[in-house]
Amino acid sequence: MYIITMMKKKTFKAPGKAYREGIDLLELMKMFPDEETATRWFESIIWGDSRFCPKCGSVETRKVPNAKPMPYWCKDCRSYFSVRTGTAIARSNVPLQKWALAIYLCLTSLKSVSSMKLHRDIGVSQPTAWFMLHRIREAWQTEGNNNFQGPVEADETFMGGKDRNKHDNKRSHVQGPSGKTVVIGIKDRKSNRVVAKRVPNREKETVQDFIRNNTSPDAKVYTDNHKSYSGLPNHKSVNHSVGEFVKGMAHTNGIESFWAGLKRAHKGTFHKISPKHLDRYIQEFAGKHNMRDSGTLLQMRFTVAGLMGRNLLYRDLVRDNGLSSLARA
C-alpha cells in the first residue's frame, strides 16, 4: 500500500470551537511533486493493498508496459483499465496531480471555489474546471444514506430569483418567496450530519416525506411552526414570528447555520446558481459539512473514495432535466 509521509511540523491551534489537522500549499506540493506520485496516491485509496478490475472485480490483473492511459489488464474479463475507470473522473484527460489540487482547493475554501478561479489556479480551461468541480461534487452525495436517530432539526429555505433582479414585467409583485427555489434540510444533532435537497414546494406531503425518508421513526423532530410540519410524530416547534427561537430543546439554530454558509457561498463565490444545478451545490456543502471535523488529508481521502462507482458524463450534466438553466442571483 502506498503511503504518503508528511514532515513533522509545529502545529498551531486555529481559532474556532474545534481543531483539525490541516495541510498548507507547500506541504501539498511536496506530497504531489509529480504525476506518478499522485497516481500512486489515488491507487492507494481506490484499491488499497490489492489492485482489482473495476469492471468485473477480479484481482487477476497485471501491469502492461507502455499502455497509457490504460496501464492495467484484467486476465478474467480481458479488459484494460486505470485507477480512473469506474469513478466519476473516468475519461478525464486532466492529470491526477491537478485533480488532487482541485480537491484540496475545494475542501479548504470555506465558501468553495468558482470555476473561474480554479481554471487559473491549476491551468485548465474554465469549462474544464466547471466540469471538474461537478465531478468532485459527485463524491459528496448525502441523500439516501441516512437514518438519523435524532433529535433532528428540519427547516426549509429559499434560493435565488430576487424580484429586484428581474424585468418589471416578470416580477411577482407579491411579498414572500414567490419565484424562488425551495430547499429543505435536516441536521442530526447526535452525529452533526446534514442532508439537504431542492424540492418542488413546501407542501406538507413533500416536507414530511423528506423527513421520513431520512430519519428514524422514533426520532425527535424540532422545526419552526410552519403548517407543513403539523402532524409529525415526536415533534416540537418554535414560533419565529413572535420572537420565539428556543423553547427548551426545541430550536432550528443548527440547520439555519448551515443555510447561512450555503448562502454566503452563493453570494460570495458563485454569485448566481441555476435551479438546474442547484442540487449539486447543495450536496457539496452538505458533504463537506459532514466531514468537517476530519483533517484535510482525511477529507481528501474520503472524497477520492466517494468518487468510486460514480459516473458523470458531460452530456448528462448539461442534459435538460426540466429545470431552468438560467443562473439566479
Centre a 10 Å sphere on the Cβ of residue 74 and count the other Cβ atoms it contains. 21
Q: Quickly list DSSP for 163-228.
A: GGGS-GGG---SSSSTTPEEEEEEEETTT--EEEEEES---HHHHHHHHHHHB-TT--EEEES-GG
Cell of residue 84, nine digits: 480512473
Residue 287: which H helix or E strand, with range? helix 278-290
Nearest-angstrom CA–CA distance, 234 and 101: 45
Nearest-angstrom CA–CA distance, 10 and 244: 46
Q: Give the pairing of strands 194-199 and 221-224.
A: unpaired
Asked whether the beta carbons of 264 and 109 are under 8 A apart, the reply is no
Per-residue pLDDT of the chain (329 residues; tens, 9 = 90+): 444 544 444 455 555 545 568 889 999 999 999 999 999 999 999 999 899 999 999 999 999 987 778 999 999 999 999 999 999 999 999 999 999 999 999 999 888 899 999 999 999 999 999 999 999 999 998 766 678 988 999 999 998 756 554 444 444 444 445 568 899 999 999 999 999 999 999 999 999 999 999 999 999 999 988 999 988 988 888 888 777 788 788 888 999 999 998 988 888 788 778 888 898 989 999 999 999 899 999 999 999 999 999 988 888 888 888 877 766 65
Helices and strands, number each (H, E), in the chain: 10, 8
Backbone phi, psi, residue 107, to 5°: -75, -35
- Per-residue pLDDT tens over the stretch 48-86: 989 999 999 999 999 998 777 899 999 999 999 999 999
Angle between helices 296-306 and 96-108 (to 10 degrees): 120
Whole-prediction pTM: 0.85
| Amino acid at the residue 204 | K
Give me the pLDDT at residue 145, please.
Answer: 66
- At 156 the three-state DSSP class reads strand
In the chain, what's the furthest Cα-to-Cα distance?
72
Give me the pLDDT at residue 14, please.
Answer: 53
Q: Give the pairing of strands 152-159 and 72-74.
A: unpaired
Strands of 72-74's sheet in order across: 61-63, 72-74, 80-81
Give me the pLDDT at residue 175, please.
Answer: 42
Structural Rg of the chain based on CA atoms: 22
How many residues comprise the chain? 329
Nearest-angstrom CA–CA distance, 142 and 108: 19
Centre a 10 Å sphere on the Cβ of residue 273 and count the other Cβ atoms it contains. 21
Residue span(s) of the chain under CATH 3.30.420.10 come to 152-317
| Amino acid at the residue 27 | E
- Per-residue pLDDT tens over the stretch 172-210: 444 445 568 899 999 999 999 999 999 999 999 999 999
- At 138 the three-state DSSP class reads helix
Q: Give the pairing of strands 61-63 and 80-81.
A: unpaired
Residue 58: which H helix or E strand, with range? none
CATH class of 152-317: alpha beta
Asked whether the beta carbons of 146 and 193 are under 8 A apart, the reply is yes
Cell of residue 150, nine digits: 435524532
Cell 497509457 maps to which residue? Answer: 68
Q: Give the pairing of strands 152-159 and 80-81.
A: unpaired
Give me the pLDDT at residue 162, please.
Answer: 60
Give me the pLDDT at residue 146, please.
Answer: 75
- At 154 the three-state DSSP class reads strand
